[in-house]
Amino acid sequence: MKMLDIRTRLLLAALLPLVLISTLLATVFLLARFGDMQAAYDQRNRAVVRQAAVASEYGLFSGNLPQLQALVTGAMQETDVRWVAILDSRGGLLVSAGQSGQAFSLPMSALEMQGFETDRRLDWLAQPVIPSTIQLDDLFENNGVGAAQQPRQLGQVVMVFSRQSVDARKHDMLLSGGVIGTLSLLFGMGLAVLLSRGVIRPITRITQLVERIGQGDFAAVDKLGDPSTEHGPLHELQNHIHLMANRLSQAHGELEHQVDLATKALRDKKDEAEQANLAKSRFLAAASHDLRQPTHALGLFVSRLAQLPHDRQTGELIGNLDASVRAMQNLLDGLLDISRLEARAVQVNRRPFALATLFDQLQQDLRPQAAEKGLRLRVRATQLWVMSDATLIYRVLLNLVGNALRYTDRGGVLVAARQRSSGQVELQVWDSGIGIAPEHHQAVFAEFYQVGNAARDRTKGLGLGLNIVQRTVKLLDHPLVMLSRPGRGTRFNLSLPVVAGQRDPVQDVPKDKAVPDDLRHRCALVVEDDALARSALVGLLVSWGMRVAQARGPADALDSLAQGLVPDVIVSDYRLQEGHNGLQLVQLLQQQLGWPIPACLMSGDTDPGVIQAAHTAGLTLLHKPVRPAKLRSLLRHLLMDKPVQRTTGVDLQ
């Protein structure tokens, strides 16, 4: 059944019984009235006929036709009478009145007869005329011996009545009944509508109110104070809804308050965590900075020491020392990489390059490490070229293969490149190592996470490798997939876009080639506030054949220039005394000299801000500990286009 709205239902509930009862009552009363009318009509007709029969008795007995004629003419005056006839005892028509077309021929009968002609709406009645008897009660008659004398029928009176007037009255009554019924129905409808409005309006209002409460508008309750409903039938309901809405509003407020509190607590926790993270970063930066200076110096010293002549035992010792220093420097480099990636200070230099060069370098760099562990490092030769940043990709490979070697005890590591039909080159690094359990697949990419190194053996690294890899490939937008089964090994797939091969791949890979004479007789200004580091750096540069001027700070540097020193290159520490920094100093000196003298900065800071600033200024920032080879490569690069300038400057050495 179709759902009816409340208004229709109420109206139906009010009107249906009304309609039913009024219709029933009207029908019953009309039928009863019709019955009464018909009965009265029949009764009157019968009475008229009987009266006529009685009246005609003597006329029939005496054959007095004028009297009978007068009688029937008189009878015609009665209502509804259409035809009157008096028949003699043999059925012969004696007298009649009325329309002759309606003549009835009836058999004589001692019984009253009547009938109805449906088509003409005519009733006919026949009444026998029997002499009225007088109870004589005398012995001459009640002797029981003689034949009983039956009253002889004198004749018959036949009358025809028309139902027209009765029908007309019935019709009128039906009409007036219908009119009265309709009027009362309309009145009832009006009343029902009027009364139901008193109920429906508050209900509608309450419905709207509840809807608005449902939408969260608790204030709507206060608009309910309609005085017209003060004594309405639904006043109680309204009050209860009012109460409910208030409770809801309170509950809602409390809930919001609690949510606010919880949110605030969460925010506080987050702030706390961020604070803690910041503190960690600061600590890390500070610690690494502080570590860098001595390590930097140590590296430089060891490098210089190695260049000195010494016996075999000392040589071995120096070799070990050099390895240790390099490991330490690697760890610091890892931290530095993270800092740089976090600061988005890494600039992607996307170019086509040959993977073969990269692979050669890789093999060259890591073979000793593999050999040390007795592992087999296989790098499958390839002719493929890819479009990416060669330096960053090399760093990724270095980390991946380094990791593979670190976590493999038997077997070997395989590096291969495969071309896929999708226009991608897949770089694969396979190992037969310990593998990674599925539950650790996500965690291995986190900072400082190491599988199976709960004791944190630092010879196994800091656990930054995969984190660096992930950050790098994300920066390059290269998909990296790791497949691993514990005890069986791990495979990393890195997808790179392939390009057509080019002729000269030589310049694309950074190479630490020794060019011994390039730096000779070049003049370098070293600005370093740390005496030890300055000494080590100056020593190293001098060992490379350079002329070196040194300064503790900007003041010294300006003094040197004032004394006529014209350096070919400036090597400055970033953080200088008295709040100065290398960047400002370099810019100051360039301004003094009047030309953009090549310069490089060195910093123990992993502060991303510093890295970003140097990057912006177009200066190379070397991070301490600076590897001698790297420094040398940079200096050679900086001085490449510059002719050897013979200066008259004071050699501070």
Partner 1 sequence: MAIVLRAVFLALAFGLLGAGAWAQVPDGSARLVIVSSDTSAVYVQTADALTDSLVRQGIPRTDISQSVATELAARLKSGQLPRPVIFVALGSEATQLLVAAGTQAPILSALSPRSSFERILRNHGKEVSTRLSAIYLDQPLARQLALVRLAFPQAKRLGVLWGTESSDRAAGLRSLVATSGLVLQETKVSQAEDLPLALAQVLAGSDVLLALADPAVFNSATIQNILMSSFRARIPLVAFSPAYVRAGAVLAVYTTPAQAAVQAAELALGVLRGKSLPDHALEPNDFEVGVNAYVARALDLSPDAQALRLALRRLERLP
Nearer to partner 1, 139 or 506 (CB): 139
Tokens of 52: 């006529």
Residues 138-177 that bind partner 1 (CB under 8 A): 138-147, 149-152
- Whose CA is closest to 86, among 119, 108, 101? 108
Number of H helices, E strands in the chain: 13, 17
Q: Where are the alpha helices (DSSP H) in 218-311?
A: 235-307
CB of 60 to partner 1, least distance (A): 8
Nearer to partner 1, 43 or 62 (CB): 62
Distance of alpha carbon 127 from alpha carbon 51, whole angstroms: 10
Identify whether the C-beta of residue 568 lies closer than 8 Å to the C-beta of residue 649.
no
- CA pseudo-torsion sign 27, 28, 30, 31: positive
Q: Which stretch binds partner 1 (CB under 8 A): 92-100, 136-144, 328-336, 592-600?
A: 136-144
Residues 31-60 that bind partner 1 (CB under 8 A): 57-58
Q: Please tell me whether residue 133 binds partner 1 under the rule CB under 8 A.
A: yes
Q: Which stretch binds partner 1 (CB under 8 A): 125-133, 241-249, 405-413, 478-486?
A: 125-133
SS3 label, residue 419 = strand
Q: Which stretch binds partner 1 (CB under 8 A): 18-26, 131-139, 317-325, 479-487?
A: 131-139
CB of 81 to partner 1, least distance (A): 26
Identify whether the C-beta of residue 531 lies closer than 8 Å to the C-beta of residue 423.
no
Tokens of 140: 């001459």
Residues 275-314 that bind partner 1 (CB under 8 A): none
Q: Which stretch binds partner 1 (CB under 8 A): 130-138, 278-286, 335-343, 444-452?
A: 130-138
- Whose CA is closest to 52, among 205, 189, 157, 147? 157
Identify whether the C-beta of residue 399 lies closer than 8 Å to the C-beta of residue 407.
no
Nearer to partner 1, 68 or 533 (CB): 68
Single residue of 74, 91, 131, 178 touching partner 1 by CB under 8 A:
131
Nearer to partner 1, 63 or 216 (CB): 63
Distance of alpha carbon 372 from alpha carbon 367, whole angstroms: 8
Single residue of 77, 132, 228, 347 touching partner 1 by CB under 8 A:
132
- Whose CA is closest to 238, among 213, 263, 217? 213
Q: Which stretch binds partner 1 (CB under 8 A): 3-11, 129-137, 158-166, 586-594?
A: 129-137
Single residue of 17, 63, 198, 564 touching partner 1 by CB under 8 A:
63
Residues 87-116 that bind partner 1 (CB under 8 A): 89
CB of 49 to partner 1, least distance (A): 20
CB of 48 to partner 1, least distance (A): 22
Q: Which stretch binds partner 1 (CB under 8 A): 61-69, 213-221, 492-500, 609-617?
A: 61-69
Distance of alpha carbon 191 from alpha carbon 196, whole angstroms: 8
Q: Angle at which helices 390-406 and 465-476 pack, to 10 degrees?
A: 150
Residue 492 host element (H or E)? strand 489-499
DSSP state of 452: T
Q: Please tell me whether residue 135 binds partner 1 under the rule CB under 8 A.
A: yes
Which stretches of the chain bind partner 1, using CB under 8 A?
57-58, 61-63, 89, 131-147, 149-152
